[in-house]
Structure 1
Amino acid sequence: MASIGLFFGSDEGNSERIAYKIQQCIGEHLVDVHDIADATELDFVVYDKIILGIPTWDFGQIQSDWDDFWNDIDEVDFSGKTVALFGLGDQYGYSDYFLDAMGMLHDVVLKNGARVVGHWPTKGYEFTSSKAEISGADLFVGLALDEDHQEYLTADRLNRWCTQICTEFGLDESPKLLDE
């Protein structure tokens, strides 16, 4: 078993694709990937380091598989665990709700005892409002990706974020950078 559990939800495949790119970058031997649709509360217990991936749908809605798991995630004890988040959203079509689901998920894991790492700069994004933005810090609570309008920036953002995560998770290995 790997030392990092990565849990994602995906309706159209973008979040799933990103999850496996993160696994590739950090290391397949270090990261176990789980579709939240098939996960239980017990799947979280075995990991001290966790990555959570969630897209925001429409007007700040949670992706359907995460929505189905929402009551369960609220019961997971994240005490002693280090958690990083990544979120996908549409900064132009839904500027008032950009990455809201990631912000809501962040609030749940923080309330349940997690130490959250992987904060990401808001610079380079155009949005009006986001529940994932850390007030006054010019940071998101996790990696922000817009596969609708900035897919060309994804590989670079993943490389930089995975490098950051490896350091913040205290890993001895450097990430394997993705081709841009």
Structure 2
Amino acid sequence: MATAIFYGSNTGNCEDIAKKIAKKLGNVDIYNLDKTKIEKINDYDKIILGASTWGDGELNDDWESAWDDFKELDLSNKIVALFGLGDQESYCDEFSNAIGIIYEHLQSIGVKVVGFTSTEGYYHDYSKAQIDKEFVGLVIDEDNQSDLTDQRIDNWINEIKSDIL
């Protein structure tokens, strides 16, 4: 079963994280939603979706453009992992909401999501990506905790590898 990463990136941070994840996983395809139609997801059984949060806790431009088409995809037989970027100091009330928005949709259609991570070590007030003491995927704060990024990616990959590859 083939695996691919699909991400949206306004500033390049989400792209950088997607490339790090792809390199560490090996043998996965990677697509920028700015340059790829979302329907390409249909070619894969296992997908990793990446999004950064923009504005008032919204999807970034690439995801916003693809959102209506994404909601029409049949993802019922897919395994999905999520990663998101946010700024917990400047946007503590909507930290990494974008993957929470994606997760809510995936849950509403019964998709299996893997790769929840602990909220320990993060300092924010609210996130749509948080359920109890876990995020619905890998959460990265390149603005305030970039020194933790590589370790967080490694830990997350160790957790999802058996499900996603």
TM-score category, normalised to shorter length: over 0.9
Counterpart for residue 130 of structure 2: 133
CA shift for structure 1 position 110: 2.3
The answer to whether residue 139 in structure 2 is matched with residue 144 in structure 1 is yes
SS of the residue corresponding to residue 38 of structure 1 reads coil
Match in the other structure for 1:14: 13
Identity of aligned residues (%): 42
Cα distance, 1:69 vs structure 2? 0.6
Mapping of 1:66-145 within 5 angstroms? Answer: 66-134=63-131, 136=132, 138-145=133-140
Query: Is the 2:117–2:135 Cα contact (8 Å) retained in structure 1?
Result: yes
In 2, distance between residues paired with 1:41 and 1:70? 9
CA contact (8 A) 1:9 1:66 kept: yes
State the secondary structure of the residue aligned to 1:59. Answer: coil
CA distance in 1, matches of 2:108, 2:4: 19
Mapped contact 1:76–1:112 kept (Cα < 8 A): no
| Structure 1 residue 157 corresponds to structure 2 residue 152 | yes
Following the alignment from structure 2 to structure 1, what is the Cα–Cα distance between the partners of residues 139 and 38?
Answer: 25
Q: Residue type of the partner of 1:14?
A: N
TM-score (norm 2): 0.96
Q: Deviations over 1:52-95 (max 9, x none)?
A: 00000132021001001110111111111100000000001000
Greater CA drift, 110-119 or 98-107: 110-119
CA distance in 2, matches of 1:61, 1:87: 12
CA distance in 1, matches of 2:96, 2:120: 14
Deviations 1:14-61 (A, max 9, x none): 00010010010000x2x1000112222431111110000000013202
TM-score for the superposition, normalised by structure 1: 0.88
Q: State the shift of 1:165 in Å.
A: 1.2
Which 4+ stretches in 1 moved above 4 angstroms? none
**Residue deviations 1:111-157 (CA, integer Å, cap 9, x gap):** 233100010100100010100001x3x10000010000000000000
Aligned residues: 165
Code of the aligned partner of 2:157: C
Distance 2:38 2:90 in 1: 34
Instruction: Tell me the distance in 2 between the aligned counterparts of 1:78 and 1:113.
Output: 8
What does residue 53 of structure 2 align with? 56
Aligned partners of 2:38 and 2:66 also within 8 Å: no
Aligned partners of 1:81, 1:91: CA distance in 2, in Å?
Answer: 30
